[in-house]
Amino acid sequence: MAKSPPLRLLWLQSGGCGGCTMSLIGAQGPDLVRSLEIAGVEIAWHPSLSEETGSEAASIINAIAEGREEIDIVCLEGSVMTGPNGTGMFHRMAGSDQSMMSVIEKVARRARYVVAVGSCAAFGGITAAGGNEVGAIGLAYDGKQAGGLLGEDFRSGSGLPVINISGCPIHPDWFTETIMQIGAGAFDERDMDDLQRPLNFAGHLVHHGCSRNEFYEFKASAQKLCDMGCMMENLGCKGTQARADCNIRAWNGSGSCLDGNYPCINCTAPEFEEPGHGFTKTPKISGIPIGLPTDMPKAWFVALASLSKAATPERLNRDATSDRLSALGEGKRRK
């Protein structure tokens, strides 16, 4: 079989922090360059990686925007900046007098696949926090609201809506796997959840595989950041609602937020940036957390919790508020 020509990928950045790119170049097994090769994807232009600068870069972008050059995949990192007053001039494309907003729209409408990389590009993300004076929105969402820059009914050349690889930042594998699926012609609507997020990560809850699951079962809770107990009751952990596989798929070789001893802030979800309470606090009504797992009757949860609390092994009670595990128990360590 003849080898098909590589898929060409254009990557633009707008109202974001570059953290998704930085995370992505940390891809491991295989690294980013190998992953792209395996996926059969060639970079037409990427702001951090390509040689072309200035007018050379602009001519690549313009050729795509004007349809003179075909493009298979357009990725956006960072939110679309619509302000001030809808002009988009909070981000002007350097070297030109166009707003980035208009450039993004033009190239996205030419692409076979449009990928929002990170929660900024997907939903507006952190850039939309604090009253959003800059008018940050996502490609196909404005927070939880479908629409965004491209509109609710947008479909790219392949017939798919925007693929929202959300996360702040993304895990490198979320991107490389999606690209490999696209490259293999094996990515379609069945591979996305209701917010258009690839199931390669959104098919899980952060709670899955959390090393604190045993504490969760017995409602043995952490009190402060550094404790080993479950962080749902007091420290704002949203792992039971957050869709991502952070505790199954290691970050940076072996970590996760939870393993770092701080809570899940649900950064793959729209509007995570405005939780309405302190990120590391659990809002409660008469002592009961209001953000309980959504798919379980509240009364049952409360009843089960008080039962399991009564049955908590002493070891878990102690470790829940300690910064180290004592699974061995006193006196079992070899002296």
Partner 1 sequence: MTKRIVMGPFNRVEGDLEVRLDSSEGQVISAEVTSPLYRGFEKMLVGKPMMDALVYSPRICGICSVSQSVAAAYALAGLGGRSVPPAGRHAVNLVHAVENLADHFTHFYLFFMPDFARDTYADEPWYQPVAERFAAVKGTAAKDALPARAAWMEMLGILAGKWPHTLSIQPGGSTRAISRSEKVRLGAIIAQFRLYLERTLFGDTLENVAGLFSADALWQWADQRASATSDFAMFLQVSRKLGLSKLGVSHNLHMSFGAYCLQEGHFLKRGAWQNGGPAVLALDRIREDISHAWYRSAGDASGPLNDFPVPDYDTSGDAYSWCKAPRLDGAPVEVGALSRLLVDGHPLLRELAANGANVEARIVARMLELALIVPQMEQWLAAIDTEERFIDHSPLAEDGEAAGLTEAARGSLGHWLRTRNGEIEHYQIIAPTTWNFSPRDAQGNPGPLEQALAGTPIREGEVEPVAVQHVVRSFDPCMVCTVH
Contact 148, 138 (CB under 8 A): yes
Among the listed residues 83, 88, 124, 125, the single contact to ligand SF4 using CB under 6 A: 125
Of the candidate spans 4-12, 94-102, 147-155, 206-214, the one that interacts with ligand SF4 by CB under 6 A turns out to be 206-214
**Binding to partner 1 in span 89-108, by CB under 8 A:** 89-96, 100
- 168 contributes a contact to partner 1 by CB under 8 A: yes
Tokens of 29: 């097994």
Contact 237, 230 (CB under 8 A): yes
The CA distance from 182 to 177, in Å, is 9
Q: How many residues bind ligand SF4 (CB under 6 A)?
A: 27
Residues 47-66, one symbol each (x = binds partner 1 by CB under 8 A, - = not), give xxxxxxxxxxxx--------
**Binding to partner 1 in span 200-229, by CB under 8 A:** 224-226
Which secondary structure element, helix H or strand E, spans residue 76, and what is its range?
Answer: strand 71-77
Nearer to ligand SF4, 35 or 266 (CB): 266
Among the listed residues 36, 58, 65, 77, the single contact to ligand SF4 using CB under 6 A: 77
The CA distance from 223 to 211, in Å, is 17
State which amino acid sits at residue 292.
L
Nearer to ligand SF4, 118 or 172 (CB): 118
Residues 231-250, one symbol each (x = binds ligand SF4 by CB under 6 A, - = not), give xx----x-xx----------
- 121 contributes a contact to partner 1 by CB under 8 A: no
Nearer to ligand SF4, 62 or 115 (CB): 115
**Binding to ligand SF4 in span 139-168, by CB under 6 A:** 168
The CA distance from 114 to 232, in Å, is 35
Q: Which residues contact 145 (CB under 8 A, 6 or more apart)?
A: none
The CA distance from 285 to 303, in Å, is 16
The CA distance from 24 to 247, in Å, is 18
Tokens of 13: 């950045």
Q: Within 10 Å of residue 167's Cβ, how many Cβ atoms?
A: 26
Contact footprint for ligand SF4 (CB under 6 A): 16-17, 19-20, 77-78, 118-120, 125-126, 168-169, 206-207, 210, 212-213, 216, 230-232, 237, 239-240, 258, 264
